[in-house]
Each structure stands twice: as structure tokens, then as C-alpha cells.
Amino acid sequence: MNILTKLTVFLLMCSVTAKYNCKMDGCQNGGNCTYFGNCECTHGFVGYDCGVQMALRSFGPSCSIKCMNGGTCYNTNMCYCTESFHGNRCQYQKENVQCGLEGIQITIMTSTKFQGEITTKPNSTGCQFRSFLTSNSTSLRSFRLITPLSLQTTNPCHRAINRTVTPDKVTYSIDVAVSEKEGVYNPLRDRIVNFKCVYPRRIGEGTTQDNTQSYTPVELLYLNTRLQPLTQGVQEGDVFFIDFTPTTESGNIFEPESYCNYQRKHTNKVKGSNGLQVMSMEAFSVHNGKVTTFKMIEKGCILPTAESRVKSMNVVEGKRPNGDRIFKTRIEMTAFSLYGNSYLHFNYDLKFCPEACPEIRCVKRQRVQPTQHHQQNFHFGGPGLNIVI
């Protein structure tokens, strides 16, 4: 008799607020960083980074300051802000853009423990964020980029600027990747933020719009053995496919050197990433506060211990609606259960390329056993596809 379970895919969906990830930013006051990048606080502390002591919180008349944007009053006259805001009253956004008539200034604030990368996409030598400590806070670091609006090659950031013209306005936008490793995307850890400035087509001040709109650069599609979208559940042991396809918004999320080499060989400018590789992938389930993981792909290769579950991984050429070629990765899998009737999720690292990514030669690797991570609180960031096994 088949074990009944559910197969779900975990994807970090679009968000309009800053995403705090303790794997890059850390936790305060002895907090533990969970598998999902959330802080698990020690007794007596709360907050997204465990930054405020419960006993010091102030309520009602005992608080003499008005905290904005969901901030928490403590010590009677201080505010502990949510992950997306800062300031003595939480009045400022941590991710913001200032639109000038001749240039754009982008600021992203992180904790001083931040260990990731903040880059435009595509990234270019000379178009770099400048890092400095925030003057009014000892726990925040600012990353700032100032660039002219010029699309001329003399502007180091010209490849990162997207310009759209309509009869009544001109829009300039820049995509910024906040990631642990440049050129690699992980849905649990990384995010891509679109900063936008909209100008009326007449002399006057520019306006800011949708300055922190985030998105995912990949689309996942689940297929049956006829390569048609799955519309019903699958049984344990059944074969199905997962297609990883770069979206039109994927930008150029790859190393600047590979982009430059590609540009020297092609006369047409590349817009968007047309290929991707699955560099690592693991399945995980959560049961009674514990996370059980099973590594399937590492360094672009299927692990020997996963060969009974991951049958193949191939590059499949396709086309976008506008006719552009794309190179998606298709993984053939056998449906399985990792922990009884718990949900099964996938976590992965993706590398994006201007065209088809270079082939990786795989060798046999040491077997990897499932591991467990203790976690009391967990949160799933968006809807996925439920497949009943």
C-alpha cells in the first residue's frame, strides 16, 4: 500500500519589503539561525533578529514615543523597528531610491554582521555599491550606489540601467541582487530588488515608484511523462519532471566576466539571462519542529546516493513568446516521501548564463546521508504546487 503524502515546492514569492536572512545577517542576543534563515530567539527576547528584550517593551501610556510602520516601543522612549524600517521612530525604509534629474541614488541597509554581496545585475567593474556604517545606528551598515541616468558607455553603470519610454513618462529602473554569492540564486536566501524612478516627459522633478519590488528570476513547471503540466497527484514511485526556466525578469544574473566575453562575440546586446544551471538541490521535510534534508545535486552533478530518485538532468532548448532562445534545465525524478506524510519541499542554488551554461563534467561523489535540523518555528513563504503522492 502506498504511503499517502504531499509533494510541495517551496518558493520565495514576490515581496515588497526587505527580507532579513540570518544566514547573512546573523541573530542577536544568542538567537539561533534556522534552516530557513529565520532567527529562533532565546528565552526573554523577541523580534526578527531577537533584538529586543520582552521585559523592556512599553505599552500604552508608559510609551512616550510613537513608533511607526509596525515598530515596537521599549524603554518608554525607544523604538525597535521591523526588518524593513529604521530610524528613531521607524520612519525610514531600509531599501530606498532617490530620483534626481540627472542621476539615481540607491541605498540598501543591512546589519553590521551582513556577509553577503550586493550588486547590480548585470554587475560591472566601476558600478559598485559603497559600504559605510550608518551614522545614527551602531547596528546598521549602508550600501549606496549613485549613478547618472546616462546610457552612454562612459557611465560604468550603463548596462544596469533599463529605460522605458511612454507618451507621458520615462522610467529608469535598476535591478539589484542581494545574495550570499554573486552569480548564484537561492530562493530561501537571496532576493532581487527592482528600484524604479518615473519622470514626467516635461521639465520637473522625478517621482519614486515601486522602489522595492522584489521578484523571482526562475519559473518552475511540473510535468508528467508526456511532458504536459501536472494537473493531478502522483503516486510514490511515479516519474515526473521539473523544468527550471529563466524568466524574462531574470536579468543578467551571472558573473560580469562571462557577460563581457559573450558581448565580445555577439553584436546584439543581451537582455536577460537565457540559460541556467541547477548547481545544488536538496529535498527537505519539516516534522515536529525538525527539518530533515536529503541532498540530491551538488556542484551541478547528481549525487550517487540520489540516483534512484533523480534519474537525469538535462538542458532543454525552448523559445520565449518573442522568439528568443532559452535554455532551461529539466530534471527527471521519481516521486518519494522523505518523512512519513510530511510535506516535501525543494531548496536549490541556480547559476544564470547569457546562453546555454557550460557543461559540467561529473564524477562519482561520496554518499550523503539525510540530516536533521532542530527548529521550533518555521514559515513557508508562498503558495506552491501540491502533488498528492
CA 312 to chain centre: 26
H-helix segments, the chain: 22-25, 256-265
Report the C-alpha gap between 21 and 373 in whole angstroms.
17
Tens digit of each residue's pLDDT (9 = 90 or more) over 3-62: 223 333 322 222 233 478 888 888 999 999 998 889 999 999 999 999 999 999 988 888
The strand pairing partners of 330, in sequence order, are 243, 314
Write out the three cell numbers for 208: 519614486
Positions in the chain whose pLDDT score sits under 50 = 1-18, 203-206, 210, 251-271, 368, 374-389
CA dihedral (371, 374, 375, 380) in degrees, to 10, reads 10
- The pLDDT of residue 292 is 87
Contacts of 243 (CB under 8 A, 6+ apart): 220, 221, 222, 223, 316, 328, 329, 330
Report the C-alpha gap between 74 and 56 in whole angstroms.
5
Whether the model clears a pTM of 0.85, i.e. scores above it, the answer is: no
Report the C-alpha gap between 373 and 339 in whole angstroms.
13
